[in-house]
Structures are given as structure tokens and as C-alpha cells.
Amino acid sequence: MFEMLDRDAFGRLGVIKTSHGDISTPTVLPVVNPFRETIAPSEIIEATGASALITNAFILYSKPEVRKRVLEVGVHEFLGVDCPIATDSGGYQIYRGQKVDVSPQAIHEFQARIGSDLAVVLDVPPRDDMSEGQTSTCIQESIRRSKELCSSKPAGPLWYGVVHLTPHTRLRREEAMQISGMPFDIFALGSCVGSLIEYRFESHLDRAVDTARRLPPDRPRHVFGVGHPMFLALSVAFGGDLFDSAMYALSAQEGRYLTANGTLRVKDLAEFPCSCPICSQATPEQMLAGDGGIRLLARHNLYTTFEELRRVRQAIRDNRLWELVQARCRSHPKLLGAFCNTLRRHRAFLEQVDPVAKKSAFFYSGPESMLRPEVTRARRQARRLPSALTFKHPLYGRVPYAASLCYPFGQTELPTQLEHLVERKEVQLTDVEIVKGAVDFQFGPGCGAALEPFRAVRSSKTGRIRKVTREGILLGTMRAKDFFFLPTMEGASILRSNLPYPAMRVVVSDDAAPFVSEGKSAFAKFVQDCDPSILPGQEVLIVDRTDRLLATGTSMMNSREMRSFKFGMAAKVRHHLDGDRP
């Protein structure tokens, strides 16, 4: 149902499969109110390429004539689109203090009967201003309704369970524990709107990450109410897959012009800082001209939202999501404060989900760069080599000379004033010492020495260390972009003998072992066990249940994800038994 395709930070590219097509994540589901249409649903799809929409089942249900019509033709024909459609159940109306005169069972069955692709439990969202007792009452009722739904889920939709981002930590965590144990297809983070409207980004992100880390990683996470392009990169980097918002329309009605760097007032603009199809042809005066102007502005708001989404997705592919987030945080001091606070409070967890190896260099973008997982993890790993000869670095502290070519040490771009603070002397190290230091940094102390006696061979073209051999046999190569050791089967066999089980291992089932030994990737559903400390992007040893080495490769998931996912690649094979026999 959900497959993760790529990742960076706590963000990920994925796909959700529905009966009306795939939803590529991360994405925003534009909110459609069929009784207050600013832009027709079909026009939204055509203009933005949105892969799904969301509407409100309670609003459809609450008007008898509309209810009858939607039950006759289905929600897709009613809205005039053939894409996946999610339906909310009325929880937002409860959150706003409105009366929802329908039973949970009735609205759940209604969502299934009208053909919703994704449907939400009718929860009772608490507000931030509620007491702990009031919040507890809301959460207990939401849990009761969730259990009731899961005991007899209407067939058809993918069902949402909701965890509420209340400020009462104990209640929030208890709800996350209970809801995460239920067989929902998607998990939503609710009760977000108040904190977002009031720019309380710091508390919102802290609660969101604290909650998201407690949910099963093999299912999508939907953050209700997030839709401003300024906040999308941050929301994705800290765990969101799906978002929804009516902001494109609500902002247009108030003359607010959305950008990835904040909100502007159309009345204050002499010209548009945007080249979308609307802004390339319209003028600010036209956008202020009644209903037609509102429609133009709403279209611009959609264009800029989906432009930012495409930018976010490409940043994930390029492993530059943190840099994009840092740029967006310069839009508002509250965003920067939220970013720094979340990195500090969730440092250990973020180190577990952020890839170890990246496709691009580490760009220093400001003092907050020191809080990023690449930096905190590298500092911790360097401390595992206490006897190494080191130099002082303004970001990484004491860096071992022998590991200084490894990512991120050797791939960091600093401003000139910080480059002058790198206290590095000329130290003569042999090529063997450099390789040993890199392998120890990557796999742990003693692993480099385990490869001895070996020879480090430099490339005739670049002059850099490229191969590691022993008696003419290739033990591995040093990857140019990050100076990580990529072991062959021979090198991996030595490492396996030196590393106690289950260190660096991914253990696959008997059914999968023959295919992995022939070079097929190790898929998550066949992983039986793994080193609990495995991180995404690490070089791993893929073995069978007897610890027989089958292949080497790169982990695509961390250990918790490998145990959770039933779809997707756990480790991509590089060398394998049948292809690398001596």
C-alpha cells in the first residue's frame, strides 16, 4: 500500500496505491468545498498536477439532497474528477466547536459507500486551550471510536487513524501508543491548526516529531492543516508525507499572496515576484477585481504551493533537504527557532533516520548547521577513535587525520572566515593508515586493522586512493564522493569475522537467500533480523540465518524500518556470492 522510494532528513519520497491511482508523496491534498468552490476540482488537477484531493464527507452528508446524489453517483462523479479522493469525517467541525449530528458508524459507512479512496475516523480533536481533564475526555472518546471502527472497518477506503498534537505530553504519547497498534492504513497528526495559525511552530514541530517517531514507519503520515508553501520543506524534513489545506482559497479571499518565503498583500504589490502562468499575464489590479481576482489569486497560490512541493521532492533526491529548510527558515524568526529547537530536542532520533551517505557536499548555511544530524553523528563517531591523531575543526571538533577524507569531514563547504579556524597541520600518513582510519570511522575500531596486510592502490587518473587489495585480490574500493569503503565479498568476509553478530548484518529468510546470493536486492518483507543500529545509507553485510555471507550492499532503511515495512527495498546489493566467487 505504501512504498518508500527515497529519503533525506526525516523526509521521504513514496507512493500510496489506491483504487483511483497512485499518490506520490510528499504532497498536498487541496481542500475542495463543493458549496464554496473558488476553483473547480478538475481545474485544480489540470493546473497543478495534484495527485489527490480532499473534501468533507460530513458536509456532503449534512445536506439530504446532496447526500442522496453523492450516494447515487459516488464522490468522484459528484466532484467531476477521477483522481484519488480523501474525505474528512467531521472532526474539523468538532474542533471548531460546531455540532456534528451524525454517529461515527454512519459517517464511516457513508465514506465507504460514496467511494472515498481515503477516509478518516470521526475523532474528537482537543484544542490547545483545554485542560488536561478535558483533553483526556476527547482522546479517550477518539480512541474508543477508533477501536470500534477497526473492529468492523467498511471495505473500500484506506482508513486514517488520528493522533492529536495536544500540549499534554503524557496523553499525546498514550494516544500514539494505542492508535499505532490499530490496523490503520494511514496515520494523521491532528489538532494542528491553532498552533500553525498563531505561528507557534516550535511547539508544533516538537510535538509532531515526538509523535511521528512513535508511529509505525511503514505507513504514511498526514499532518492536518499544513498548506503554506513557506512551511512545507520544514514539515517534510520533520516527517510529514501528506498535507491538506484550504489556504490557497482562504488566502485569496483575503487578498493574501502566498510565496515560499512568506505571505504578501496583493494591494502592496507593484509587480509580481513570480512567473507562474497567472502572474505572467495578470496585474495586481486584476487580482483585486472581485470574484475574478480571487480566482486568479487562488490559482497563483496553488501554483506556488505545488512548485515548492516539486522543489522539496527534488531536494530529497539530491540529499539537500536540510539546506532547503535552512533557506526557508530565514523567512521568519519563528521558523528558525523551531528548526533549531527540533534539531536539539530530537538529535538522537534524527541521526537514526537521516542517511549516512549523501550525494552532495555538506553546505554550511549558518550557525544552526552545527545542529544537523550529519554533524552530531560525525562528532560522535569520531569519538570512537580516541587514540587517533586529530585536528580541530569549527564544526566537527576533533577530527582524526586518517578519517578526514570521509563524509562529512572531507565534503564540507565553509565560508572563508570559518575555513581559517580549521587548525590542521601537515601530517604525513601512509596510504594504509588513511584507509584503516576511514574503515574504523565507518565500521568501528579495529575493522581497518582486520583487513591487513593490504595494499592501498591509487588511481592513475586522479591520484586518489581507489582500491584496497591483498595479494592481488580486491578487498574493496574507496568511493570517490565520500571516501567510504565498499567491500567486495572478500573484504566483507573479513569484516564479518571481525564484527560480532549481528553487527552490520541484515539477515534474510531462507526463501530470499538464493535470490540475494544471485544479486537480487534484499526486500524488507524478507528481513528476519538485523543489527539494531543500522542506519540508512550504511554499507551492510547481507547474511542468511546461519550467518553465511550472501552479499554486500547499501541499506535503504534503518533497522526499525526493515522490521516494519512489507514493501520496498531494505538493502541494495552491490556484490554477491554467486557473482564474486574467488
Q: Tell me which residues are annotated as active site.
A: 88
In 3D, which of 31, 122, 112 has the Cα closest to residue 71? 112
| Length of the chain counted residue by residue | 582
Query: CB neighbours (10 Å) of residue 249?
Result: 23
* Residue 401 backbone class (left: φ over 0; alpha: ψ -120 to 50; beta: rest): alpha
How crowded is residue 563: how many other Cβ atoms within 10 Å of its Cβ? 17
Residues 6+ apart with CB under 8 A from 421: 392, 393, 394
Q: Are the beta carbons of 230 and 335 closer than 8 angstroms?
A: yes
Residue 297 has a CB neighbour count (10 Å cut-off) of 29
Which DSSP string do the residues of 77-101 spell out, in sequence order? HHHT--S-EEEE-SHHHHHTT----
Output b/e per residue, 41-73; b: 16+ Cβ within 10 A.
bebbbebbebbbbbbbbbbbbbeeeeeeebbee
CB 67 within 8 A of CB 85: no
Q: What is the largest CA-CA distance in the chain?
A: 83
Q: Are 522 and 551 in contact (CB under 8 A)?
A: yes
